[in-house]
Chain A
């Protein structure tokens, strides 16, 4: 149980285009989803926290107009990287937690590797 999927697993795009990444909780309702960014050989940096049906809360230094997050349902959150540039190339990982889970543990998706040319 508590499986989180991400799509796509890899994406390559041209500079200036927008890319949408989906995060789904497959067998539980995710009231809260988190988006992380990971640079090579570094730890995960929290970008934003989203609760179903409300606006996301962004961490300091993360541009909310650049990284659009939508959490429209209890099983789906999307991250859209708008007007992507090479410096946005990174590994993006989502996680989710929901009601009814025993602990406040987060369950992680497999990640999406974004390469902007």
Chain B
């Protein structure tokens, strides 16, 4: 079935470092792709999304491009901040139903 695989963490970076969190997916057709962020003790917040191939989602300096040829949706940020420390989830919704499938989550810690 449709699924998402994201890089295992934890990831620890220094402030202003470049961030990449890899996410690849397996799906039939064209799923919608999402990145969510979860801060400690809180629910999920949508970070960005893309609904078709070659779309680029962006928000708060984060970007991810929907790559059909590599079935990927890697999350990137050019310069991370301490406040970006959180768990990041890649997710997809298949194009034929409503179920959202989540990756395992990647914990990011940014040190000053």
The finding on whether chains A and B are genuine partners in a shared complex, rather than unrelated, reads yes
- Write the residues of chain A forming the contact surface with B, with a CB cutoff of 8 angstroms: 6, 32, 34, 41-44, 46, 49, 93, 95, 97, 103-111, 113
- Write the residues of chain B forming the contact surface with A, with a CB cutoff of 8 angstroms: 32, 34, 36, 41-46, 49, 51, 89, 93, 98-100, 102-105, 107
CB pair A106 B100 closer than 8 Å? yes
CB contacts (< 8 Å) of A111 on chain B: these are 42-43
In the bound complex, how far is the Cα of B42 from the Cα of A104, in angstroms? 23
CB contacts (< 8 Å) of B105 on chain A: these are 41-43
CB contacts (< 8 Å) of A49 on chain B: these are 98-99
CB pair B49 A44 closer than 8 Å? no
CB pair B89 A44 closer than 8 Å? yes
CB pair B107 A105 closer than 8 Å? no
In the bound complex, how far is the Cα of B46 from the Cα of A34, in angstroms? 16
- Shortest beta-carbon distance, B39 to chain A, in Å? 10
A46, A103, A106, A113: most-surrounded residue (chain B CB, <10 A): A106
Task: Return the contact of A108 from the options B32, B45, B104, B107 (Cβ within 8 A).
Answer: B45
CB pair B44 A41 closer than 8 Å? no
- Shortest beta-carbon distance, B24 to chain A, in Å? 15
A43-B102, A111-B42 given; A105·B89 CB < 8 A: no
